[in-house]
Structure 1
Amino acid sequence: MIHFRLSDSGVLVVQPSGPITSEDFTAIQDQVDPWLESGGKLKGLLIDAPDFPGWKDLAGLRSHFRFVRDHHREIPRIAVVSNDEFLSALPKLARHFVKADFRRYDAGETAEALTWIESPPEPRLPSIRHSWFPAEQLVWVTVDGKVTTEEYKHFLSHIEAILAKHSPVSFLVNFEDLEGVELGALIKDTKFGFTHIKDIKRMALVGDSKWIKRLTSLPNPFSLEIKSFDEDQEHQAWNWITS
């Protein structure tokens, strides 16, 4: 069960009090969607769950991720107030909010979390963001907007540091919001690919663009496993690449 409220400032506050059901997200959607359609704008989502109760059944889990997928573009900030490590570190939840700034607060810090959500916006996030999951030997990359040469150079410096210690690793790359790539970044990407081909075990490419599917269908003389997934198949990409 979920208790929720939509504040006057546009913050959706969600408080799970028991196992989450599909009906919970239907109720949230019935209030949030008409408000958005009438011109309202969400400032953020605050999940206040000192002890995460989990989902009642598979339908509840599916409804959760469907709601996240359908609304992530309208939510610029997410704050999780919880001491539950599963909720605060759940990569499949945090990852879906590709355009959001995500922060965790300890239980009892609800006021601090709300203050952060309602504070003025910060400078835009870089077009390339990544997360490193050492247990899965996986780098999760999201691309948003146009990739500049400088941003890609900065991104590669982090990735090469990871490869130097943990090779080989796998990559899950989401191109859902890619708007373009500068020539200099493309050149660096080509050089990186040939230099580190042996350091990459598997690569999952997520996005509906035709060029992604063409890329994965090309002959592959290397040992690298590469596979494409549609935008709504991110969880399958995660399962495949970590299997």
Structure 2
Amino acid sequence: MYRRLDSGDDDVLGFEVEGTISQESFEELLEEVRHGIDRSGGVRLLLRVHGWPADETPMLGERLRFAKEHFHQIERYAVVGDSRIVEYLTTLADAFVDMDLRFFESDEEDQAWAWTRDRGTSQEASA
């Protein structure tokens, strides 16, 4: 399941994903992101992830395809979680996509929100 998190900013979208997310719910989440992109021209995302369900792996390809199609419209992407698998996949993806993508531990969520909202230069903030 997923739920929208209140970010307080039109171009900053936050979502929490817990357990298995159905294909239908996943499509709804992507539609919310597309709508944010259409409204603002670009978005900043924060995704709070709890664990990594084994049955999520098949949808990983679709998530990567979406990111590839829209990466130039996603200015920053913070992933907050408690799973080493999520941290590893975030770090791996960051090496292959041209967007600011960063992993934060669960207890660093306040820093993740601050980083996501920060309008400073991307390279300096992630260094």
1:18 paired to 2:19: yes
Alignment-derived partner of residue 94 in structure 2? 94
Superposition pairs of residues 191-206 of structure 1, within 5 angstroms: none
Which one-letter code corresponds to 1:112 in the other structure? Q
- 1:52 is paired with a residue whose SS is coil
**Residue 84 of structure 1: how far off its partner (Å):** 0.8
Give the structure, 1 or 2, with the largest relative contact order (CA under 8 Å, sep 6 or more): 2
Residue ranges of structure 1 left out of the alignment (5+ in a row): 126-243
Show CA shifts across 1:131-160 (max 9, x none). xxxxxxxxxxxxxxxxxxxxxxxxxxxxxx
Residue of structure 2 equivalent to 1:109: 108
- The residue type equivalent to 2:49 in the other structure is A
TM-score (norm. length: structure 1): 0.43
Q: How does 1:193-232 map to 2 (within 5 A)?
A: none
Counterpart amino acid of 2:76?
R
CA contact (8 A) 1:77 1:100 kept: yes
Asked whether the 8 Å contact 2:100–2:122 carries over to 1, the reply is no
Once the 2 structures are TM-superposed, how far is the Cα of residue 115 of structure 1 from its aligned partner?
0.6
**What does residue 76 of structure 2 align with?**
77
Does the 8 Å contact 1:2/1:14 carry over to 2? yes
- Distance of aligned partners of 1:15 and 1:54 in 2 relative to their CA distance in 1, 3 Å threshold: farther
Alpha carbons of structure 1 residues 54 and 72: separation in structure 2 relative to 1, 3 Å: farther
Distance (whole Å) between structure 2 residues aligned to residue 24 and residue 115 of structure 1: 27
Q: Per-residue displacement from partner, 1:47-84 (whole Å, max 9, x unpaired)?
A: 212423344462x2332222222221111222221221
Counterpart in 2 of 1:67? 66
Report the TM-score, using the length of structure 2 for normalisation.
0.75
- Structure label with greater radius of gyration: 1
Identity of aligned residues (%): 24
1:29 corresponding residue in structure 2:
30
Instruction: Tell me which protein shows more helix as a share of its residues.
Output: 2
Instruction: Find the aligned partners of 1:105 and 1:124 in 2 and give their Cα distance.
Output: 17
